[in-house]
Amino acid sequence: MKEKYSQLTIRPANRQDALLLFNWANDKTVRKNAIHSEEIKWENHIEWFNNRIENPSVQIFILEDKGNPLGQIRYEKKADYWIIDYSIDIKHRGNGLGQYIIKETMAYFTNTCLCAKVKIDNIASYSVFVKLAFKKVNEYELNGSLFLDFKKKL
């Protein structure tokens, strides 16, 4: 990771993060790499956010440096595994923060399986999951795009 970050911390998201997460979710690159690429409307986001922020089957964390938000990661429990979804603020991409936030938050999970869906042309996320020793388990088409499933047993 680049030396430009001196006080990285990860905290649970809270209700005050609704707008921050909304803005990150509507970033052009984030939408391009998402399963559903259309822009998210505020009303839909706030309903989604309220359904997840205090749900024990959803864990959302914010990565910060000296209190400045850099990115987010969300884990959603499905059956016997957790699905990972993360994004890094556009101003901080390419600095190893995706790998950092996943590696650091994986420590909250034991005796389970972590999974991620990655668009096949999303080289940055593909690289992050490979570096973290996730295994490619499936390739498929979804909404007109090719995706890979990654899996890691903890």
Inform me whether the pLDDT recorded for 3 exceeds 90.
no
Residue pair 113/81 in contact (Cβ under 8 Å)? The answer is yes
| Separation CA 6–CA 47 (nearest Å) | 35
Inform me whether the pLDDT recorded for 51 exceeds 60.
yes
pLDDT score for 1:
61
| Separation CA 134–CA 136 (nearest Å) | 7
Rg (CA), the chain: 15
Inform me whether the pLDDT recorded for 24 exceeds 70.
yes
Indicate the DSSP class of residue 87.
E
Reported pTM = 0.94
Give SS3 for 61. Answer: strand
| Separation CA 67–CA 10 (nearest Å) | 10
The pLDDT tens digits for 59-103 are: 999 999 999 999 999 999 999 999 999 999 999 999 999 999 999
Backbone phi and psi for residue 42, each to the nearest 5 degrees, phi listed first: -55, -45
pLDDT score for 4:
86
Inform me whether the pLDDT recorded for 2 exceeds 80.
no
Task: Show the domains of the chain with their CATH numbers.
Answer: 8-109 (3.40.630.30)
Backbone phi and psi for residue 91, each to the nearest 5 degrees, phi listed first: -75, -10
Inform me whether the pLDDT recorded for 139 exceeds 90.
yes
Sequence-separated (6 or more) residues with CB below 8 Å from residue 100: 1, 8, 63
The pLDDT tens digits for 109-128 are: 999 999 999 999 999 999 99
pLDDT score for 86:
98
- Write out the H or E segment, with its range, that includes residue 151: strand 145-153
pLDDT score for 70:
98
